[in-house]
Chain A
């Protein structure tokens, strides 16, 4: 489903080129449950941004469903972004919208949508639908962020340190949700530096200096 072939992403730091992705090769299969681990600055988040379609590589190839993303038009790029759900460490919920409105926000820009109540029930957030993000715990916020991905039928969910702001119990709960979603056919890619979290995934990819090392 996702293939990166000799992908290079450079950043300029103090007038020097820094290779965030250093001729990286990666294949992510459909319905995968992968953890990408590595130390800070190894290129995990850059890889996530590239896969999500937020950033583009400077060299190499990125194939999504066997199509070269580098050759994507604006419309196709937008479609790619719409196909991939991203979950962040700090949840990125809009404070002025209720949980329900935050979840439905995604449906404003997409045609396909699932039943809100079904999604809410699945993530155990039925009773907080009318609350505002400021009234929620970290675990609840992250479940709302997941619900926001699910409401528009995403087939891939990328999560950047999804448990980084959560306590152990909530982190485990979130990982259980991810596992459940993966069982239902959704590909999950988690970027983390927490080995315990990574061990709950089916596959672990280690990164060092912008490359996959295992």
Chain B
């Protein structure tokens, strides 16, 4: 209570300290929160786009056994094939729970996935927008006949699907149970494991495949974003250092302007340790106040960002505790020197300073 009262009375002297530490803390928190949000979203987008898988596209079929070898080695469960429908090639892409994420968003009509429990319905299908005319299917839940099998249309892919694969307009997406029927001229292989490119090259011939390692793309992008975050964090910690220099300077000048108070307390029996403790506790309290103010500022800024950009940046102060604690420790330990200086002031110095009596 005494401490709060003392800090409150001296508030004008602490404004500069509070402002400087708030700027530093807000910078660190904002950099961390926003960059974490970006990284998390990139990660999520990659997952939604199915980019957490590796993909290989064959340009030419070499032998009959390669599919089985690749499937066995890379745990490939889904693949696609071109299928000629009335003289035209259509891609038929099978999907599993990983690849299916590609199709769970950007749908204007319906959802591709209609899970029944944890299983997908085998005789359901999603068709590309060009194919709706071909199949004469303009609404969901229509039934179409494809290669002698009747499928229920659970999704119609409209244009503007932002996918890794460029045109899905002329694609048919079918589910696991039927994929096997279309594997003979397979083109795409997807796997949760990383392809060994040298093996694929040896197996298929150097120019006969197109290799997309989406994980690599994702990892390098995430690594880049992490690097940017770390650089920004380092820069904001530079601002912390600048603030601390400012705080130490301010604390030192505070001490000399508070000589009378120190003198009175010492005359009343305060020891050097009492004065030292008081200044350290004051600095901790000031930084705690700064942290609370900074959190409120960050909260307001993030709300504003969410409101103006229609994003949903989440504020997780708990995950930022390590940074906050680090700043608190650095800042408080920087006040050790001013506190020590204050504790070493003698009563006679305060008297000679004409402040005391």
Residues of A near any B CB (own CB < 8 A): 49, 52, 54-55, 78, 81-82, 86, 88-90, 92, 94-97, 101, 105-106, 108-110, 148, 152, 160
Contact = CB atoms under 8 A, between A and B. Distances in A.
23 contacts: A55-B348, A81-B267, A81-B347, A88-B356, A88-B357, A90-B357, A92-B263, A92-B264, A95-B9, A96-B5, A96-B6, A96-B8, A96-B9, A96-B10, A97-B5, A101-B5, A105-B265, A105-B268, A106-B269, A108-B2, A108-B268, A109-B274, A110-B269
Contacts of A52: 267, 347
Contact of A109 (B6, B270, B347, B357): B270
B89 interface: no
Interface string B268-283: 1111001000000000
A89 B357 contact: yes
Given A54-B351, A88-B357, A78 B269 contact: yes
B2 A101 contact: yes
A163 B6 CA distance: 29
B348 A49 contact: yes
A105 B269 CA distance: 10
A126 B271 CA distance: 30
Contacts of B192: none
A152 B267 CA distance: 12
B83 interface: no
A101 B274 CA distance: 17
B77 interface: no
Contact of A94 (B264, B271, B347, B351): B264
Interface in B244-262: 260-261
B267 A78 contact: no
A117 to B, nearest CB: 20
Interface string B225-261: 0000000000000000000000000000000000011
A82 B357 contact: no
Contacts of A101: 2, 5
B130 interface: no
Contacts of B348: 49, 54-55
B351 A78 contact: no
B355 to A, nearest CB: 10
B39 to A, nearest CB: 48
Contacts of A108: 2, 268, 270, 274
Given A109-B265, A160-B357, A54 B6 contact: no
B266 interface: yes
Nearest to B346: A54
B346 A109 contact: no
Given A54-B347, A54-B351, A92-B260, A86 B270 contact: no
Nearest to A92: B264
A109 B264 CA distance: 12
A47 to B, nearest CB: 13
A78 B271 contact: yes
Contacts of A148: 268
A95 B265 CA distance: 13
B357 A92 contact: yes
A82 B274 CA distance: 14
A81 B274 CA distance: 14
B14 to A, nearest CB: 13
Interface centre among B2, B5, B357 (most CB of A within 10 A): B357
A96 B264 CA distance: 13
A92 B9 contact: no
Contacts of B357: 88-90, 92, 160
* 5 shortest interchain CB distances as A-B pairs: A96-B9, A109-B269, A82-B269, A54-B347, A106-B268
Given A54-B348, A92-B260, A92-B356, A109 B268 contact: yes
Nearest to B266: A81
Given A92-B357, A108-B270, A49 B351 contact: yes
Contacts of A160: 357
Contacts of A55: 348
A55 B10 CA distance: 29
A49 B10 CA distance: 29
B271 A109 contact: yes
Interface in B277-324: none
A90 B356 CA distance: 9
A94 B274 CA distance: 17
Contacts of B269: 78, 81-82, 106, 109-110, 152
Interface centre among A82, A86, A89, A109 (most CB of B within 10 A): A109
Contacts of A90: 357
Contacts of B5: 96-97, 101
A44 to B, nearest CB: 12
Contacts of A92: 260, 263-264, 267, 356-357
Contacts of B9: 95-96
A84 B10 CA distance: 29
A129 to B, nearest CB: 16
Interface centre among B266, B268, B357 (most CB of A within 10 A): B268
A86 B351 CA distance: 13
Contacts of A105: 264-265, 268
